């Protein structure tokens, strides 16, 4: 029987915030893809993004229409399914730009590494909610969740996609620190991470090393690996206080910005709307993140609390990495800006995250 309290507790604020951010994203994508001289070959991407946005709204409704506690039972099947899709990418994935990141399902191109973010959150929330203790998890107890996180990270690195692999790692670390780790175990893990840094460096491909070196000194190769960051910083700085106006950006209009509709879309927005528009977007993201933390705080169910923290950390780290990347504060790693960047897989993933947060929010009364 339908519980009327679901309507009473429905999170209209979170829904409105998601629609506002999605609308800003559509406007930004339109600006990014219409800068090319006629006939604009990228303009079709704007219409595709509208379709993805509408599909995302439907997926969001589906994500909050059932009791989220069912996901505790389905966490492992979802996780296994996503891992199998990652394996499928390595074997059958489409090769583009020197990497395999996409599965082709008829007319659809799907990026499984986007969905694995949610799968990792689900499986870690299931594990930690069952075995949490006041003293914190020991190194032995962390072995299983660490393996659950390392497996998909390793498969994503093989594509290769270091940006998404790092993002999944940060999400897993955030959830683990939230549920508390025994002090001795935490110090051991930190020492271990520091010890493997040199090993990881020597395992990186040459272009990946160049990205990190460019991050440290973009002017070292201004026409090569440093070009992206330099042009992005020029675009952001040229927006000044109030910006040049919608569709009036010159860095984008003259096609100086690479990947303007995906990785560097924040640069487009900053050039056109300036410090005022950029600050407003950051404010909306801060509200979204605090909203997610509030949902976790008000939830009385351990699984729901950890789920909300994990989903919120997904938004937090993607915003930090993407905007930091466009400002030269982080290496260019190809992480999309939630709600704003073009991309079907990213849009659907973000919609599911918002829907699940709304799910937890509207069913918090069930344990009160």
Average pLDDT per block of 10 residues along the chain, 368 residues long? 66 93 93 64 82 94 91 93 90 70 75 92 92 76 90 88 89 92 83 78 68 61 64 83 83 61 86 93 96 93 94 96 87 86 91 95 69
- The predicted structure's pLDDT at residue 130: 84
What DSSP string runs through 10-24? --HHHHHHHHHHHHH
CB-side neighbour CA atoms (13 Å) of 312: 26
Which residues have C-beta within 8 Å of that of residue 194, sequence separation ≥ 6?
none
Give the distance from CA 305 to its chain's centroid.
19
What is the β-pairing status of strands 108-110 and 94-96? Answer: unpaired
Q: How far apart are CA 56 and CA 89, in angstroms?
A: 23
DSSP 120-158: HHHHHHHHHHHH--TT-B-TTTTHHHHHHHHHHHHHHHT
Coil/strand/helix, residue 95? strand
pLDDT of residue 39: 46
Helices (H), 180-301: 183-203, 206-216, 227-238, 250-253, 265-298
pLDDT for the residue 49: 92
Q: CB-based contacts of 91: which residues, under 8 Å, 6+ apart? A: none
Helix 265-298 vs helix 344-362: crossing angle, to nearest 10 = 20
pLDDT of residue 17: 95
The pLDDT, as a whole number, for residue 5 is 67
CA distance 105 to 269: 33
Residue 80 contacts residue 112 (beta carbons within 8 Å): no
Residue from 90, 225, 84, 88 nearest 157 by CA = 90
Enumerate the H helices of 35-142 as residue ranges: 43-64, 70-92, 112-131
pLDDT for 214 equals 62
pLDDT of residue 151: 93
| Closest CA relative to residue 24, chosen from 237, 232, 228, 288 | 288
Radius of gyration in angstroms for the set of CA atoms belonging to the chain, rounded to a whole number = 21
């Amino acid at each position: 029987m339908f519980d009327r309290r679901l309507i009473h507790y429905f999170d209209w604020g979170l829904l409105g915030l998601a629609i506002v951010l999605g609308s800003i994203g559509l406007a930004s994508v339109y600006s990014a893809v219409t800068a090319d001289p006629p006939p604009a070959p990228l303009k079709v991407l704007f219409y595709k993004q509208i379709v993805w946005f509408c599909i995302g709204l439907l997926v969001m409704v589906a994500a909050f229409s059932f009791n989220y506690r069912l996901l505790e039972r389905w966490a492992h099947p979802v996780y296994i399914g996503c891992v199998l899709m990652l394996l499928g990418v390595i074997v059958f994935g489409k090769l583009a730009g020197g990497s395999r990141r996409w599965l082709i399902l008829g007319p659809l191109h799907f990026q499984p590494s986007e969905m694995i973010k949610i799968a990792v959150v689900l499986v870690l929330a299931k594990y930690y909610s069952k075995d949490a203790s006041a003293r914190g998890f020991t190194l032995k107890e962390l072995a299983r969740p660490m393996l659950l996180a390392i497996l998909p990270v390793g498969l994503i690195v093989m594509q290769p996609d270091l940006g998404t692999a790092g993002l999944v790692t940060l999400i897993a670390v955030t959830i683990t620190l939230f549920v508390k780790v025994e002090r001795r175990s935490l110090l051991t893990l930190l020492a271990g991470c520091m010890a493997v840094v040199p090993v990881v460096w020597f395992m990186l491909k040459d272009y990946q090393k160049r990205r990190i070196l460019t991050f440290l000194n973009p002017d070292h190769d201004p026409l090569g690996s440093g070009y992206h960051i330099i042009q992005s910083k020029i675009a952001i700085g040229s927006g000044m206080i109030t910006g040049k106006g919608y569709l009036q950006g010159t860095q984008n209009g003259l096609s100086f910005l690479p990947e303007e509709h995906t990785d560097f879309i924040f640069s487009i927005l900053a050039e056109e709307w300036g410090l005022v528009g950029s600050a407003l977007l950051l404010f909306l993201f801060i509200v979204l993140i605090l909203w997610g933390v509030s949902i976790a705080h008000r939830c009385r169910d351990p699984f729901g609390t950890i789920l909300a923290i994990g989903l919120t950390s997904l938004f937090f780290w993607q915003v930090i990495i993407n905007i930091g990347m466009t400002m030269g504060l982080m290496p260019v790693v190809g992480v999309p800006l939630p709600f704003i960047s073009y991309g079907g897989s990213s849009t659907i993933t973000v919609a599911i995250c918002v829907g699940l947060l709304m799910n937890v929010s509207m069913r918090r009364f069930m344990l009160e």
